[in-house]
Chain A
Amino acid sequence: MGETLALLSDVLVRATPLALTGLAVAIAFRGGVWNIGADGQFLAGATLAAWIGVALGGTHLSLPLALLGGAGAGAVWAGIAGVLRSRFGVLEVISTIMLNFVAAFGVSYLVRGPLQEPTHVYPQTPSIGDAAQLPVLVPGTRVHAGILIALVLGVIAWWAMRHTAAGFRLRVTGANPFAARSAGLVNVERVTMRAFLLSGAFAGLAGAVEVCGVTYALYENLSPGYGYTAIAVALLAQLDPLWTLAAALLFGVLEVTAAALQREASIPSTTAAVVEAAVILAVIAVAGWRTRRVEQHA
């Protein structure tokens, strides 16, 4: 029983950053922004959240400030790519990937330099103050309130994309910017920039939630590639926010059970990666097949 509970809690803890970064990717892709850099934005968010959590750890405002600061840092990190695209025509596929490396090495530097814990033994920051930590939802497990944040934001994103004028603008801009501009008189540049910022904010928030809810400190390799897996999560969900939550849960199950299988039955955990890839290929194949059928009947 305790074993099952531990597995379940691991799944939820693993699914939370995947859900938030998955939403980040889904929002960007829907808006025609090919943000491959959720990982870098995740680290930017985690870094600022850790800094705020350490510096203001004692005050009540430190948790909301850490989360908001994380989202803001992610938005700024994505915004760099946004400005590069709108000002200089740099493709965000390239710039966001490059910014991932900048973020990863930036974290390496910070946790060995200015932000390193006082004993200078471990390459990580000191722990964030208690007040900056997300509350644990189920005592005895690691399940933290970040899960609720992901759930609520997922539902809001789904509702906003469907029912608000801004969400509609995002979708039509991504689907056909020419028609959005000409038929809808949509300010395509503004919508695109907002897609960058919002996507970055979700990824940055994911980083902040990870620091405030799970690790309580910033260190190298904080993200085992969440921002990249997020692309798979979002694509599997066909860029729908609600399905993104479900896909994140599925990937959480796959990755956690893979680790358990390796421990208990010596099945290599890379099997999970194989299954993930197979699932994505199957979804893409089915989607392609359905599209072709629609077109043949047209």
Chain B
Amino acid sequence: MHALLGENGAGKTTLMRIAFGMIHPDAGTIEIDGAPRTFRTASDAIAAGLGMVHQHFTLVPAMTVAENVALGGRGRFSPDEARARVNETSARTGLQIDPDARVSDLPIGAQQRVEILKALARGARILILDEPTAVLTPAESRELLDRLRAFAKDGGTAILITHKLRDALDVADDITVLRHGRNVWSGPADQTSESALVHAMVGASAVDASTRSDRANVLGGPVLTLDDVTVRDARGQVALDRASVVVHAGEIVGVAAVEGNGQHELLRVLAGRLAPSAGRAEIPANVGFVPEDRRRDALIGEITLLENVALRGAGVRRGRVDWRHMRRETEDVIAQYDVRGGGTATLARALSGGNQQKLVIGRELEGASPALVVENPSRGLDFNATAAVHERLRAARENGTAVVVYSSDLDELLALADRLIVVHAGRVREVARDRETIGRAMLGADLPNG
């Protein structure tokens, strides 16, 4: 098991795409089991026993698990055979999944299992996983990494592309660190340490992302107020149940929850992106919002960075668009938030995921809104960028902005939040800033009836 570490844009994804035949190298060779190989397409790589799990899933949502696994095969398609193959691979690897489930109905963690299963069902012996834990809750990550360990023990090879040092040190046998496209460190995991890896990844300017700057509390008046707010989803199920939350100017409220407990709806109501089914929500008109699914909800890949910055406020703008002013604003965001890989006229999809995230955060933070709702702010960001974003969020708080942060990373919440609320089964509660208490509340373990 090999972990590949590096900052945003260090070349991790590019390297793995070369290995998988999606990009052709200008120079150099690929060797598998000591034999040089050239892959013209991804199918060549699959035939050679490689399997790739992309950061963004490559599943067809409308199709079942078995159909997705059968996709890309040759000859006739037989539903029974496909189902049998899924069950067989499930049994072999312990990745439990219902072959007849529709992918769009599955939670993120299960979708990722389907991706891995897909690769394994095609006979992959070498698995490449691009940021697999980025979308998972801590418990799901734990399980995934255990599975990968087991896969490696059975003679497989897993290559884990990650930002998370802890994951790399915990599960990998060997670690390689990339910086600016160069291999800067490579060796066994037990011969290095967290600080040595940080140093290798970021060079000299490493910043500890987890320091919390305590300060004199200058709370302002309430900015976001929810009173007995209930939200029903499309099927009429109660997603958020009589939630009452007040967020004041000048504080950061952290939201902790296990995936699918109603936090998604809570954050959207707070951001003014979703109207409650019942109850009262007092939300200012232009709350800054950094959503979780940036490629769907925050950015438009086919338009330029300039136009993506102009997207904020598009709903209320009248008359002509002042593109000159917008260009200055965009240049500011690019410079201040260290967005690399393009200028104002670059298409957003040409940026790496981390740089897209920086652009979104910059756009929302520079919007001068009275409140800010952020979901997983550091997703896809490296150390320095994460630290910079945290610094910005704190600065926003000092300036009297009401900030709400949701993160699937408890450390991030503890580093940022002044107060913490937990959402479990649609109910919202405030809890003490204590790891154990939060963990129990997230699982509902502290409630009388479990």
Contact = CB atoms under 8 A, between A and B. Distances in A.
Interface in A161-189: 163-165, 168-169, 171-172, 175-176, 178-187
A175 B314 CA distance: 14
Interface residues of B, number: 35
Interface size band for A: 20 to 34
Interface in B295-351: 296-303, 307, 310-321, 323, 347, 349-351
Contacts of A121: none
Interface stretch (A33-41, A248-256, A290-298): A290-298
B314 A169 contact: yes
B23 interface: yes
Contacts, number: 85
B39 interface: no
Contacts of A182: 273, 289, 291, 297-298
B310 A168 contact: yes
A179 B350 contact: no
Interface in B259-298: 272-273, 286, 289, 291, 296-298
A168 B311 CA distance: 8
Contact of B314 (A178, A186, A295): A186
A184 B310 CA distance: 8
Contacts of A178: 296-297
Helix, strand, loop or mixed for chain B's interface? loop
A298 B349 contact: yes
Nearest to A185: B315
Contacts of A165: 314, 317-321
Contacts of B298: 179, 182-183
Contacts of A297: 350
Given A294-B350, A296-B23, A183 B302 contact: no
Contacts of B347: 294
Nearest to B23: A296
Contacts of A296: 23
A168 B315 CA distance: 10
Contact of B299 (A164, A169, A179, A185): A179
Interface string A76-98: 00000000000000000000000
Interface in A144-174: 163-165, 168-169, 171-172
Nearest first, the 8 A-B pairs at minimum CB distance are A184-B314, A185-B315, A165-B317, A182-B297, A186-B315, A298-B350, A176-B300, A184-B311
